[in-house]
Amino acid sequence: MLFIRKTHLTPEIIFDPRKGRLVLSGMSSPDNSVAFYQPLMKILNSIKATRGGIKADFKMTMFNTSSAKCIFDILKRLKAMEEQGLRIVINWHYEEDDDDMLECGEDFQDLLDAKFNFIPGFATYSNSVAQAS
């Protein structure tokens, strides 16, 4: 289990491999994005399989360029896990009036040739892994 508390410059990160839950929520503009996201990448790179797959909710309000690269790397790792047979669901949440954040998600989806669920607003989420459609 990984839990990183949100600050004024960094998002909250919750990753529970046993439950197949990953949530990144908030703003991301740390001084060193690679170092900040390294604990999550380390865990993702060590996972061989998790019962039921992984449901990943990205609820970012803003991120800088270096964070965008790290978020892309996280998404790329999730895509690789999916290609290895793990069920992955990626939910990209965005404020309804934030076209830039929606476009970032669409760009990531296109670059990865992946399927994202685009969800306007930051509604609460279920603890169960959603079924991939």
Return the percent helix, strand and coil in the chain, to nearest 5: 35, 30, 35
Which one, of 90, 21, 18, 16, lies nearest residue 60 by Cα? 90
Q: Tokens standing for 60?
A: 């970012």
Q: How far is CA 99 from CA 8, 103, 118, in A?
A: 22, 6, 12
pLDDT tens-digit map of 77-125 = 999 999 989 999 999 999 999 999 999 999 999 999 999 999 998 765 4
All structural domains of the chain, each given as residue ranges with its CATH number in brackets, are 2-120 (3.30.750.24)
Helix or strand holding residue 26 (H, E): strand 21-28
Banded model confidence at residue 49, pLDDT cuts 50, 70, 90: low
pLDDT in tens, 15-43: 999 999 999 999 999 999 999 999 999 99
- Both structure tokens of 14: 């919750």
In contact, 115 and 74? CB cutoff 8 Å? no
Cβ pair 48, 56 in contact under 8 A: no
Q: What is the pLDDT, as a whole number, of residue 125? A: 44
Residue 123, pLDDT score: 64
pTM reported for the whole predicted model: 0.89
